[in-house]
Structures are given as C-alpha cells and as structure tokens.
Homo-oligomer: A and B are copies of this chain.
Amino acid sequence: MRGIISEKMMDEGTDARELPGNLLVAQSGGPTVVINSSLAGVVQEALNHECIGEVYGALNGLHGILSGQLVDLAEESQHVIRGLRHTPGAALGSFRRRMEAGDLEKMFVAFERMDIRYLFYIGGNGSQAAIHAIHGHAQKIGYEIRAIGIPKTIDNDLVITDHSPGYGSVVKYVATTVREIAIDDQSMGDYNLVSIIEVMGRDAGWIAAGSMLARTSGTPFDAPHLIYIPERPFIDQEFLSSVKKVLMQSRYCLVVVSEGIRNSEGNYVQVSGIKDPLGRTELGGAAEYLQSLVEKNLKIKTRTTKLGIAQRAAAHCASTRDNEEAYECGVRAVKAAIGGASGKMVTIVRESDTPYQVSYGLSALDEIAGKVKEFPQAWVDESGSMISNNFLRYVSPLIQGEVEVPHKGGLPEYVHLLGAEKFSKKVAAGPGGYR
C-alpha cells in the first residue's frame, strides 16, 4: 500500500527529504464512532518515525491550536490509546468555529514556537478546507510543514474518496435499528401503522439510503418501504399515495427520511427556525412533518423515531471494517507526510467489490475542500422513494464485522484522554465555558 502512496507522491513531485520536528493532530466537526480510531492510527504510526519529536493533540481543534491548549499524546497510557479505537466522540474535543482573519498568522506563530512540522486534521469538508488554507499559507510565508487531511464524516459526502470513515458505522447502526423497529411494527397486528424514522443527512441522502440494508429480502414490501433523501424534492401528494400503495400489501409502512428533505421550492420541510452557531438552520422535524401529513390525510396511526446524535455516537454498534479503515487512514496520513506530501487528504480507493478490496491514495485538497458528493441519482429508482439494489453492492462491505466493545457493569466502557480531562477540569467556568 505504501508503494501506491509513494508512487503518487513522485508523480506530484513531493519532497521526501527527512524533516525533523514535532507533530500536531486535531479533530473537528461532528464526531463519528471511529474518529478516535484515526487518532490512534496517527499516534501509533508517529512513534515509528525518528524524525518526529513530540506528538501533540490540539484540544477542540482550531480553538486549541490558537489558544495553545495542547496535550502531550505520548504521555497517554497504552490502555487509553488502545481504548480510543472503540470510544465515540472526539477524544481531543471538536469544534465548529470557522477560521477568521488573522487566525492563520496566529497559528503559524504557535507552529514556529513549538516547531510543528507535521499537522494532521481529522475531519470533513470544513476541516479539509482549513488544512488547504494552512498549507497555502505555509507556502506563502515559506514555513516548512507537512499538512495532511484525514477523512471523517458520517455523511459520506467527501468527494474523490470512495467513502469516508464513519459512514459504515452509522449505516450499520441505522440499518440495525430500522430492522428492529420493523419487526416491532410488524407484530402490532390489529391496526395499520405508519412508522417514520428520521436520520441525519442535511444535504446528502447517504445515511437514509443505507437503511436499505435492513431489508431481509429483495422484495419492495420488506422494510424500509419508503426512503426520502434531500437530493430529491419531497412532494406531499406523492408521499401519501406511496404510503397508501404500501398499505395495500403490508399492514405497516416504514419510512426512513433524511432530516434535510426539501420541498419543490427547495425549502426544508417544517424547519424549526433555530440557528446553530454557524448560523445554519437547525433541522429536525422532518419526521413530525410526515407524521402530520399521514394523520391528517390518511387517519392512520403514525409513530416517529428521531435517532439524533445516537447515530454518530453508537460505538456499541460500530462496523469493524469502518473502524479498521479509519485507523489505517491515520497511519497512511503519517506515512504520506514522512514521504514528503503536504496539502493532501488521504483517500480510500476501492479496488474491487467482491472480494472487497481497497488501497489508499492521496488527493490535492483544492479538489476536495468545499465540494459535496451527492447521492448518485442513478441509484434512486423512478418512484424517487426507493433506492436501487446497485447501491447495496457499494454499501454492504462497509458494515461488515462487529467491533467488540469491552463492557463493565453491563455498559460499554470508554476511555478519556488524561490530558484532555486535566484541561476540562482546569477550564470549567460557567456558561461560555473557557472561551
């Protein structure tokens, strides 16, 4: 595999000279259940390279870099580093703040002071854009640093890479839950029932589509019966007649809907109007919107489930393959930097479906930052409410294997970074936290 990377790097004329210095790794954006597995990959691979001195982690990403809140990851026990491989959340702390004017300058003062020469950012679109800006600034001011992005997103919307670490596990959890709810729905036999499950997906339907895996047979009357994704406009009347059609054949109709579905005018259905810290409209309420349509128009009992944050935190239901690929992306990022690469993101390249085989590559960040990989229209059937079986060939391999999470007292046992805990104790300080 390393061969592949070096090759690519030669093509791109990277500089393989040995660069002595310290390493800084950060996490950002919404966590996934495998984001810490990538962190473990970076830390463990870093120890294999003499030229890397200190291995720092930035607390709360950009925030920690700017405020100098770093933890020494070499100080963490082997038990904790191993535990990261099954622990959800962002162990270093995450953040959503965007870069502001002057941030880059401040950052490089800190980099110089701490002799940071290796920078790894585990994140989605926003993070890759940040790495891209940092790499550009380094070249502008002639500061030698090797900055590599590590893909991470449950949304699977990063371009070029075949898929993103975090996606396989969220789909495994959602499909497991949809299958379980379907069995419950099916057993309530004395009335018709519409069951609506709202899943994440602001702009892309990858997660909702993945619920297709819950089907035990190929038949269209196996749950989920209907799937609605943001890429297709949501038409009330089409939805209602689809539900009626399903109920002609089945006593229940199970619907999976992305939080981000929009009507034909392109507006989110029933947005709450609340804004998040980035000024984006907070979603949620898609399930309630569909519920009100069914209950008003069809007078059929309807239940909703909103999995919310559980989707990206359910480490007890993680995919082994996803977990291993996340770890490997961390390892590859370090190897790529050692090999001289910078301004790149590690990508997963699918070599074959059966048997499932991948290699790892590198892509220039300017081809990735700010771009969104939509769910392919070719995989949505004519009805617009069901996903084609071709998609299953793509997604099935990503959910294989069950990560074994150690349990204590009947509950999963997760780890905390000692350094991060020290800080959070130090900084706990009323509303506003330590800002």
Contacts and interface: CB of A to CB of B under 8 A. Distances in A.
Interface of A: 27, 31, 59-60, 63, 87-97, 172, 175-177, 179-181, 183-192, 195, 197, 213-214, 244, 247-251, 274, 276-277, 284, 295, 300-310, 312-317, 319, 396, 399-402, 407, 409-412, 414, 424, 428, 430-433, 435
A189 B93 contact: yes
B247 A190 contact: no
Nearest to A432: B192
Contacts of A433: 189-192, 251
Contacts of A277: 190-191, 301
A97 B183 CA distance: 20
A186 B432 contact: no
Stoichiometry, copies per complex: 2
Contacts of A249: 428
Given A187-B89, A411-B214, A284 B308 contact: no
A428 B251 contact: yes
A304 B272 CA distance: 12
B189 A94 contact: yes
A308 B314 contact: no
A321 to B, nearest CB: 8
B284 A304 contact: yes
B431 A190 contact: no
Q: Lowest 6 CB-CB distances: which A-B pairs, in order?
A: A305-B308, A89-B183, A399-B410, A60-B189, A95-B190, A180-B313
B317 A316 contact: yes
Contacts of A181: 308-310, 313
Nearest to A404: B402
Nearest to A311: B305
A307 B305 contact: yes
